[in-house]
Structures are given as structure tokens and as C-alpha cells.
Amino acid sequence: MDHIFENTEVAFSLKSDSELERAYFLFKMISIEPLVKIGSVATNLAIKAHLPIEGLIRSTVFDHFCGGVNEEDCLPVIDRLYEKGVSSVLDFSAEGKESAKEFDAAMHTTLKIMDFANERPAMPIAVFKPTGFGRFKLFEKLSKGDSLTAKEQEEWEQVVYRYDMVCKKGKEHDIEVLIDAEESWMQKASDDLVTKMMHKYNTEKPIVFNTLQMYRTDRLDFLKQEHQLAKENGYYLGYKLVRGAYLEKENERAKDKGYPTPMCSSKEATDTNFNAAVAYMLDHIEDMSIFLGSHNEDSSYKMMQLMAEKGFKNNDDRVWFGQLYGMSDHITFNLAERGYNVAKYIPFGPVRDVMPYLIRRAEENTSVAGQTGRELTLLSKERKRRKLN
């Protein structure tokens, strides 16, 4: 592959000079670690104290990483991306909810987005997070194999109902449903349920997708077992492949509780595991679809390379690439320019509810040992090209 991701003109073609300057300023600020640390604490406190800082957050980090506070807000973003051949996956990102009322509201929002998406080719994919539809502790208890009380059993049936409603609508509207993966100690309950949904709705093609976090040592075997099961029962598989977002938390918990960590022992081991899963899925593409959720250039090049070797068309509808809105535009837009299927996850929701998400994005982009982060390097390169500095 020639180095297509280096083209910053394509990468930032949607950004006006002033938007480029704003993004540059933002990444410059969040590259300063102490600022992000203090900023995160201060912002959380200010929000709790109901100080009027939402305007400030909106005009800085929020607008860069989120589509808006509701789905209508996201429309201009969706249209602009689609002009460049990039699809949108609206992600209702309210986190840390605990009540049935809130879980029902998240389900209704997801269903509403899917009705909204039904009329828009720019939105072929929907997404939800397991703990957006049910209590973390309930997933955890089931994952451990503990039996539920009658009340908990009723509560779980509601979770099953929420998964089912969304997957059913996915099938009705031909919208793929990607279900996120979270901490390993709550994941099994969701995995079992998603397998059931695949069995029910992936009869003609992959509609329901689970997520495989390849930093887990057991996921490649899991993929192979699920493949066997799907073949025996005659349904298709769909998987979003990611490396995994909870590495430190996973390792710390394993250490605290004294069990062997389920994580790969190094970044290289995760990469090897990730590449093996990509290869396995492309080798068996007649039975499954893949959504590569990654900001890693090598992983993206590798999948393009494998597709070419196997004679797949760039826009083969079983193969998708995906990045988060506000990050890795050099991968997204250069893939779209070559005709690959590529989507942006666009988080939206009330400012206070998406704060944990925004803080994670800021932390991820703080500078490591004084190095300039990748986003900042790309933005600098494009500023120079446009002679803005």
C-alpha cells in the first residue's frame, strides 16, 4: 500500500481554516498533561456545582468530539461527512445510568435514531452499549454464573427485551446493529445474549454485531467457537474488532483480586492477536462481516492489503472501517476517497452526560514523554500546507 494516510489535504478537506485553527488550538491544550488532569477535576466539580460552564465546554472539546446534544443537531455533520463518502454511526453517549427509566429512555433514543436512519443512506449502522440498557451489577452477577433473585430475573428480562427491540428494528430497516463490549467481568452475560440475537436475526445476512476486544487473550478462541456454532445453526456472524479500552482497569482488578489478568502481556501481543482475528475473519468472510474499529494505521493498511490479495472490491459490503468523530481523520477520509466503507462514531447527548467520554478523549491525547501527539502533528502539517502559521 502506498502511504495514503499521509495526505492531510484529503484528511482535513471538510475543515475551514478557522476550524483547523480551532482543532489545532484544542489539541495543543489537551497535549499538556497537568492541564488535562486539573481540567478534568475542575470540570467535574463545576458541573456538579451547576456552574454555568456548559457553553465553554460546548465551544471547545464538545463540538470537536460530539455531533450535538440531540440527533437533530447531528444532521449537518452527517450530511457533510456523507458528501465525502463517510457514513455516520450516531452514538447516544449518556454514561453511568442506573434506573429502568433511564435504560428505557436509551432504548427509545436508539430506536428513534434507527427510524431517522431508515430514510438516510448516510446512516447504515446503529450502536448501543450493554450498560446503556441494563445495570452493570446485573450483567456482572450473570457473568459470574450466580443465580438471580426473582426481582433480578424480571429486571434481566427487561434488558433482553431492550436488546431484542433494537435488533428487531435493525432487521426491519436493514440497519446493522453494533453492540459495544465493556469490562471482562460483565461481558459474558452480554455475549450470551448477543449470540442469541445473532441466531434470531442474522438468518439472511449479518445484522447484529458483537464486539471482540483483542487485548483479551481468549477472544480468538471465542471467535472460532462462535463461528462453529453459527455454522451448525445456520446464521451469520458480525463482529466489530477493537483492541479494547479498559486495559489498566482490567490489570488493576486482576492484581487486586489475585487472578491472572485476561489481558495480553504486551502491546505487541495484542497487535498479533488483533491481526490474527482480522485474518481469520477475512478468510471466512462468506460467513461473517467485519467492522474494524481502530485508529491504528498499520491495522488499517493490513486489512486493505488482505482485501486486495483476496480480490475483494474496496467497497465490499461485508467489510467496514470505523473511527471516532474528531480523531484520525487522515485514516477516515483517505479510506473514503479510495471507495472503502468507512464510518465515524458520532457521540451525542447532553453535555454533562458525555463528560466522561470527553475526558477519556482528552486523556488519550495528552503528550507522552513530551512527544507531540499524532493528531497535533497532522494538524501542524496541514496548517503548514495551507500556510496558516
Ligand X SMILES: Cc1cc2nc3c(=O)[nH]c(=O)nc-3n(C[C@H](O)[C@H](O)[C@H](O)COP(=O)(O)OP(=O)(O)OC[C@H]3O[C@@H](n4cnc5c(N)ncnc54)[C@H](O)[C@@H]3O)c2cc1C
Distance CA 230, CA 235 (A): 5
CB closer to ligand X out of 109 and 323: 323
Taking CB under 6 A as the rule, which mask of x and - marks residues 111-150 in contact with ligand X?
Answer: ----------------------------------------
**What's the min distance (Å) between Cβ of 374 and ligand X?**
9
222 by DSSP, 3-state: which? helix
Q: Which of 247, 285, 306, 388 binds ligand X (CB under 6 A)?
A: 247
Cell representation of residue 12? 482535513
CB closer to ligand X out of 43 and 294: 294
**Binding flag, residue 358, ligand X (CB under 6 A):** no
**What's the min distance (Å) between Cβ of 245 and ligand X?**
4
Residues 298-357 interacting with ligand X (rule: CB under 6 A)? 299, 322-324, 345
| Size of the residue set binding ligand X (CB under 6 A) | 25
| Contact (Cβ atoms closer than 8 angstroms) between residue 229 and residue 192 | no
67 CA to centre of own chain: 14
CB closer to ligand X out of 181 and 383: 181
**Binding flag, residue 270, ligand X (CB under 6 A):** yes
Q: Which of 10, 77, 263, 362 binds ligand X (CB under 6 A)?
A: 263
Q: Which residues contact 332 (CB under 8 A, 6 or more apart)?
A: 11, 86, 321, 323, 342, 344
| Contact (Cβ atoms closer than 8 angstroms) between residue 27 and residue 64 | no
Residue range at the interface with ligand X (CB under 6 A); choices 134-142, 168-176, 225-233, 293-301:
293-301
CB closer to ligand X out of 299 and 383: 299
Residue 242 β-bridge partners: 213
CB closer to ligand X out of 68 and 322: 322
**Burial grade of 45 (CB within 10 A; 0-12, 13-18, 19 or more):** exposed
**Binding flag, residue 365, ligand X (CB under 6 A):** no
Three-state secondary structure readout of 76-132: HHHHHHHHCCCEEEEEECCCCCCCHHHHHHHHHHHHHHHHHHHCCCCCCEEEECHHH
Taking CB under 6 A as the rule, which mask of x and - marks residues 33-72 in contact with ligand X?
Answer: ----------------------------------------
**What's the min distance (Å) between Cβ of 54 and ligand X?**
26
**What's the min distance (Å) between Cβ of 388 and ligand X?**
28
DSSP string for residues in 49-79: TT-S-HHHHIIIIIHHH--BSSTGGGHHHHH
**What's the min distance (Å) between Cβ of 366 and ligand X?**
14
Amino acid, single-letter form, for residue 196: K
| Contact (Cβ atoms closer than 8 angstroms) between residue 27 and residue 68 | no
**What's the min distance (Å) between Cβ of 184 and ligand X?**
10
Residue range at the interface with ligand X (CB under 6 A); choices 53-61, 95-103, 263-271, 372-380:
263-271
Q: Which of 27, 92, 139, 215 binds ligand X (CB under 6 A)?
A: 215
**Half-sphere exposure for 45 (CA within 13 Å, toward CB):** 6
**Binding flag, residue 242, ligand X (CB under 6 A):** yes
Distance CA 143, CA 160 (A): 15
Distance CA 322, CA 211 (A): 13
What are the DSSP E strand ranges found in 334-381?
342-348
Residue range at the interface with ligand X (CB under 6 A); choices 52-60, 118-126, 184-192, 291-299:
291-299
CB closer to ligand X out of 195 and 211: 211
CB closer to ligand X out of 85 and 383: 85
Interacting residues toward ligand X by CB under 6 A? 180-181, 211, 213, 215, 242-247, 263-264, 266-267, 270, 293-296, 299, 322-324, 345
